């Protein structure tokens, strides 16, 4: 099977670009220097090589252009006539012919000038002949510039053509514009054809693919065709007619029975399928029509009445209904031509609405079935079928009585299959549910409906949290509220008992003198709190005064003692407590007549062998902490004992001794080895002075 991929055609440069490319390549790939002592033979070979190399490059470039563009006589008639409709095959052939002529002229020019160069008698003569040869080649290429530009436009347009396989299973959608062809295409395939409420939105062929019974089908959406003479059809309509003429496919004729497309059924009836495929109407497909067998000229034809949501088929007028039945009768002739029976009219006339997708699947299935049956029947009539049948063996049971036993499918299987199909059609997707419930932003999909639980009602629990594969709500006590009330009641009783046990100065257990003292204390406490709040508010604006100028002496121990004494309380303990918190204890010097503790400390220090440690212990009190000596092992340092730590310290100092002695920088210092590297700060190098690198 031939696959046509026009996207692989290389870009066609214009004449000036080709000349620049070839001359630049010649200059780069051939010698360019002629020395004084060259013989005339060597000079001739030098310039002959340049001429031949230039001719060879021109020939290869032009041959690539000619070979990559398709030949209209060698490709499928569908693509040949499609290219004729889009670009006019006469102009196309003329452009390729001019390039072929230019290629031959360049070869002839090179041949002539190489013959002249063989008899060149001087450097000047050979040089002049070489310049003349290259100049004439470039002139020939520049003259075909318009043809190259035309082919480049054709290449760009061909790269945008759809990849249509003329030999595969194809469904063709056609007839009047604005009848719902593109909408049907978008429904059954993954294509995205533009749909607008006006005619001729589709201006070219669009291809999509759909699957049916594990087979891939090619669906082609064609532009609309108007009922007018063949000579008046424009390029857009001719694309559709070319596809109808050459593609062996199931043809879906779309009919708008509502009349909203702007064309009545009477107008559609005048435009008959068989008039389009008449050989007299399409003179450029006579050769194709003669190649096909009479059986293959009958295409599977289906008339689709679209837009039944606006106007059902039963609601149209009697005259229109009569015309529709006549169309159906005409379509039945194709069934008869394919070997069908008289009553075999199933799937010839179908109704559909692409808006609510009613009947879309039925139309697609009917077209695929009709097309598949027709392709099978055509293959059964070929000569190759005998070779295929020899490989098959159909087992047929021997008749044992007069009773017929035709092949059948069990009823249970048919019912199950019908049930699955009904469920598949009835099943609603999340998109359908979203449209029914207010659209995006309003509808929130339920994440619980696919939970696999023992009871379906559990999906809507108030607390459906899942932990370790279990529903948490299944493990909650149903009497949890009653138990909570009991706990709260018990907690309240406990709080009441604790309140009874606490001592609260509510005035019941106090004497009259103690009550007065308590009142004074509370009053004083409230005044202190107020003063503190005032000072806190005015702290930023109040000037700082040193303590020696505080003449009021509000916060002294003597004043506190006088106030407590006036209240009848002993202030000694409070004063001692305030003094102990206000300043630290002074260090006491040891004298000869010191106390016993200092004497004991001195006795203990005397036993120490080191004089410095002994003096240090005598000069500080026992209550202060001492720093750890370097030899003492701290937890987590990794040393076994103090001797091992002292040895490690000595080794570390010894390793750094040599570096310190040489005044070297340490490995942790940030250092710039060379502040001014020579290759950045030296001047211009002279010839031969590269040894420094």
Q: Write the pLDDT tens digit of every residue in 390-418.
A: 777 777 778 888 888 777 888 888 888 88
Under the banding of pLDDT at 50, 70 and 90, the label for residue 309 is: confident
Least confident of 47-56, 186-195, 658-667: 658-667
The DSSP element (H or E) to which 242 belongs, if any, is helix 235-246
Under the banding of pLDDT at 50, 70 and 90, the label for residue 135 is: very high
Assign 304 to helix, strand or coil: strand
Res 507 pLDDT > 70 = no
Structure tokens, 300: 């599977």
Task: Let me know if 98 is exposed, middle or buried by CB neighbors in 10 A (0-12, 13-18, 19+).
Answer: middle
Res 622 pLDDT > 50 = no
Contact 623, 601 (CB under 8 A): no
Distance CA 632, CA 297 (A): 109
Which residues in the chain are classed under CATH 1.20.120.1190? 6-157
Q: What are the tens digits of pLDDT across the range 4-47?
A: 778 889 999 999 999 999 999 999 999 989 988 899 999 999 99
Highest-confidence range of 244-253, 561-570, 600-609, 617-626, by mean pLDDT? 244-253
Under the banding of pLDDT at 50, 70 and 90, the label for residue 290 is: very low
Q: Which of 345, 357, 199, 186 is nearest to 263 (CA)?
A: 199
- Rounded to an integer, the average pLDDT of 275-298 is 41
Residues near 49 by beta carbon (within 8 Å), at least 6 away in sequence:
30, 31
Neighbouring C-beta atoms of residue 652, cutoff 10 Å: 10
Q: Which of 325, 338, 414, 342 is nearest to 369 (CA)?
A: 338
Under the banding of pLDDT at 50, 70 and 90, the label for residue 601 is: very low
- pLDDT higher for 497 or 253? 253
pLDDT at 211: 92
Under the banding of pLDDT at 50, 70 and 90, the label for residue 49 is: very high
pLDDT at 599: 46
Distance CA 559, CA 562 (A): 5
The DSSP element (H or E) to which 209 belongs, if any, is strand 206-212
Distance CA 201, CA 103 (A): 43
CATH class, 6-157 region: mainly alpha
- Rounded to an integer, the average pLDDT of 66-85 is 88
pTM exceeding the 0.85 threshold for the entire prediction = no
Assign 442 to helix, strand or coil: coil
Return the residue matching tokens 């049948």. 389
Distance CA 277, CA 101 (A): 39
Which residues in the chain are classed under CATH 3.40.50.300? 164-384
> Torsion angle, CA of 271/276/280/283, rounded to 10 degrees?
140
Pick the CATH number of 164-384 from 3.30.479.30, 3.40.710.10, 3.40.605.10, 3.40.50.300: 3.40.50.300
pLDDT at 43: 93
Structure tokens, 127: 């040089």
Distance CA 256, CA 271 (A): 14
Neighbouring C-beta atoms of residue 242, cutoff 10 Å: 25
pLDDT at 376: 84
Q: What are the tens digits of pLDDT across the range 192-222?
A: 888 888 888 888 899 999 999 889 999 999 9
Under the banding of pLDDT at 50, 70 and 90, the label for residue 480 is: confident
Distance CA 617, CA 458 (A): 79
pLDDT at 285: 39
Assign 215 to helix, strand or coil: strand
pLDDT at 273: 45
For residue 52, the Cα-to-chain-centroid distance in whole angstroms is 52
């Amino acid at each position: 099977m031939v696959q046509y991929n026009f996207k692989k055609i290389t870009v066609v440069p214009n004449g000036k670009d080709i000349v620049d490319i070839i001359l630049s390549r010649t200059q780069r790939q051939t010698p360019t220097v002629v020395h004084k002592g060259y013989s005339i033979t060597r000079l001739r070979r030098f310039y002959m090589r340049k001429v031949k190399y230039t001719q060879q490059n021109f020939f290869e470039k032009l041959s690539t252009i000619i070979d990559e563009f398709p030949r209209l006589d060698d490709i499928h008639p569908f693509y040949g006539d499609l290219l004729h409709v889009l670009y006019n095959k006469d102009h196309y052939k003329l452009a390729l012919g001019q390039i072929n002529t230019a290629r031959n002229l360049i070869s002839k020019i090179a041949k002539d000038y190489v013959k002249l160069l063989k008899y060149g008698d001087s450097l000047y003569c050979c040089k002049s002949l070489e310049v003349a040869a290259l100049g004439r080649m470039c002139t020939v290429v520049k003259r075909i510039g318009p043809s190259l530009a035309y082919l480049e436009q054709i290449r760009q347009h061909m790269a945008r053509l759809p990849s249509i396989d003329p030999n595969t299973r194809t469904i063709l959608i056609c007839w009047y514009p604005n009848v719902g062809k593109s909408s049907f295409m978008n429904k059954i395939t993954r294509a995205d054809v533009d749909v607008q409420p006006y005619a001729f939105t589709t201006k070219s062929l669009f291809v999509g693919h759909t699957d049916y019974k594990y087979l891939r089908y090619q669906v082609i959406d064609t532009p609309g065709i108007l009922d007018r003479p063949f000579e008046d059809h424009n390029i857009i309509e001719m694309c559709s007619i070319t596809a109808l003429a050459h593609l062996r496919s199931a043809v879906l004729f779309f009919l708008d029975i509502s009349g909203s497309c702007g064309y009545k059924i009477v107008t559609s009836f005048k435009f008959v399928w068989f008039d389009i495929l008449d050989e007299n109407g399409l003179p450029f497909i006579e050769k194709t029509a003669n190649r096909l067998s009479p059986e293959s000229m009958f295409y599977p034809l289906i008339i689709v009445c679209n837009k039944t949501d606006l106007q059902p088929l039963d609601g149209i007028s009697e005259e229109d209904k009569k015309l529709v039945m006549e169309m159906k009768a005409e379509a039945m002739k194709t069934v008869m031509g394919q070997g069908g029976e008289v009553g075999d009219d199933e799937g010839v006339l179908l109704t559909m609405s692409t808006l609510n997708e009613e009947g879309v699947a039925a139309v697609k299935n009917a077209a695929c079935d009709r097309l598949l049956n027709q392709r099978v029947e055509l293959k059964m009539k070929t000569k190759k079928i005998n070779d295929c049948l020899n490989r098959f063996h159909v087992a047929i049971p021997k008749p044992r009585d007069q009773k017929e036993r035709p092949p059948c499918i069990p009823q249970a299987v048919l019912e199950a299959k019908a049930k699955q199909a009904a469920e598949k059609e009835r099943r609603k997707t999340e998109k359908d549910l979203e449209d029914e419930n207010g659209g995006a932003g309003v509808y929130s999909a339920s994440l619980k409906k696919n939970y696999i639980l023992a009871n379906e009602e559990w999906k809507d629990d108030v607390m459906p949290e899942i932990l370790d594969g279990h529903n948490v709500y299944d493990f909650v006590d149903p009497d949890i509220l009653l138990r909570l009330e009991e706990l709260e009641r018990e907690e309240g009783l406990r709080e009441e008992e604790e309140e009874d046990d606490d001592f609260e100065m509510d005035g019941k257990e106090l004497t009259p003198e103690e009550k007065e003292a308590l009142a004074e204390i509370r009053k004083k406490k409230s005044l202190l709190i107020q003063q503190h709040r005032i000072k806190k508010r005015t702290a930023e604006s109040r000037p700082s005064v040193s303590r020696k100028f505080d003449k009021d002496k509000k916060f002294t121990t003597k004043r506190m003692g006088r106030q407590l004494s006036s209240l009848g309380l002993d202030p000694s303990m409070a004063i001692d407590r305030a003094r102990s918190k206000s300043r630290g204890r002074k260090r006491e010097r040891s004298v000869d007549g010191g106390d016993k503790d200092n004497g004991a400390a001195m006795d203990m220090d005397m036993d120490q062998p080191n004089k410095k440690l002994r003096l240090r212990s005598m000069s500080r009190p026992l209550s202060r902490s001492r720093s750890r000596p370097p030899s003492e092992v701290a937890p987590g340092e990794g040393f076994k004992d103090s001797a091992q730590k002292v040895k490690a310290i000595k080794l570390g100092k010894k390793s750094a001794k040599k570096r310190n002695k040489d005044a070297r920088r340490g490995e942790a210092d940030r250092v710039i080895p060379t502040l001014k590297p020579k290759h950045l700060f030296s001047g211009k190098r002279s010839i031969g002075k590269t040894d420094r690198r």
